[in-house]
Amino acid sequence: MEPVRSFCKDSLAVRIYADRTAMGAAAARDGAALLRRLLAQQDTVRAVFAAAPSQNEFLEALCAAPDIDWKRVTAFHMDEYVGLDAAAPQGFGNFLRARVFDRLPFGQVCYLNGNAPDIEAECSRYAGLLAQAPIDIVFMGIGENGHIAFNDPPVAEFDDPAAVKVVALDEVCRNQQVHDGCFADIGQVPTHALTLTVPTLAGAKHHLCIVPAPTKAKAVRDTLEGPVSTACPASILRTCPGAVLYLERESAHLLTEV
């Protein structure tokens, strides 16, 4: 699980692995070690999880990690479609429930409800839960358009006053859901979603960002080699002390550093 290449870009550590399996295993090893360390220092840990096929290897390895007192961990997920059938497997809460939330004895799991009768009230409710204490860890990915959570370039704000908001999904983002095999065609992909905002994500104490696949190579290059800008929202990670970006050869192949 040792990287084939490591370097730093501003505050962001970058580690490139031979393949997705090694990348996911390394991120899970580091995430588990971080959870153990924090739980040794404080009563509870609050962690935000991303829901996407890009996280599969990481989540599977994290579920197998030993000696984590999950009963002292509160979990959140970072985004959810608006108006998708509550039982649909593409729902991000359902994705995480199947892959991690129902497999481990979390003390509490806080779900976003994309079918709430009052969506703005749901944003306020979830923002209130997030505000109860600092967020310790964000386990995350990067979208094909450089988004983090559902902060696509047209709606991302680095100084967003909201903690959680409703957003319209851009075409690149919606097509990614088709590329990932989550939907048969773009017509099935919801047009709106709830998302934690960029400041909410960036304000966490620790960030582990797991990004495989050649479809993410341009977004990875823009994150690391472009300006820190909402044109590539993930570039904000370069300002987060201690953040780590986990890549594999295919997602890193456009980098000039490689």
pLDDT tens digits along 24-83: 999 999 999 999 999 999 999 999 999 999 999 999 999 999 999 999 999 999 999 999
pLDDT for the residue numbered 213: 96
Q: Look up residue 192 and give its amino acid.
A: H
258 has a pLDDT exceeding 70: no
**Could you state, in order of their start, the residue ranges of all structural domains in the chain?**
15-196+205-230+247-251
Q: How far, in Å, CA of 170 to CA of 151, rounded?
A: 10
- Which parts of 59-214 are beta strand (E)? 73-77, 79-81, 108-110, 137-140, 164-168, 192-196, 206-211
Question: Exposed, middle or buried by CB within 10 Å (0-12, 13-18, 19+), for 139?
Answer: buried
Mean confidence (pLDDT) of the chain: 96
Q: How far, in Å, CA of 71 to CA of 108, rounded?
A: 8
Q: Report, as an integer, the average pLDDT of 209-236.
A: 98
138 has a pLDDT exceeding 70: yes
Q: Report, as an integer, the average pLDDT of 80-102.
A: 94
Q: How far, in Å, CA of 177 to CA of 101, rounded?
A: 22
Q: Report, as an integer, the average pLDDT of 193-209.
A: 98
Which residues have CB under 8 Å from 224's CB, separation 6+? 9, 12, 14, 235, 238, 245, 255, 257
Q: How far, in Å, CA of 9 to CA of 7, rounded?
A: 7
Q: Report, as an integer, the average pLDDT of 204-222.
A: 97
Look up the CATH architecture of domain 15-196+205-230+247-251. Answer: 3-Layer(aba) Sandwich (3.40)
Residue 145 main-chain phi, psi, to 5 deg: -95, 10
pLDDT for the residue numbered 177: 87
Q: Report, as an integer, the average pLDDT of 140-159.
A: 96
Estimate the share of the chain in helix, then strand, then coil, as percent rounded to the nearest 5. 35, 20, 40
Q: Please give the helix or strand (H or E) that residue 186 lies within, else none.
A: none
Q: Which of 78, 76, 26, 31 has its CA nearest to residue 52?
A: 78
Q: How far, in Å, CA of 66 to CA of 62, rounded?
A: 9
pLDDT for the residue numbered 257: 64
pTM for this predicted structure: 0.95
200 has a pLDDT exceeding 80: yes
How many helices (H) and strands (E) are present in the chain, helices listed first?
7, 11
Lowest model confidence (mean pLDDT) among 59-68, 167-176, 228-237, 244-253: 167-176
Residue 43 main-chain phi, psi, to 5 deg: -70, -40
Local structure of 225: helix, strand or coil: helix
pLDDT for the residue numbered 157: 98
The pLDDT > 90 percentage for the chain reads 88
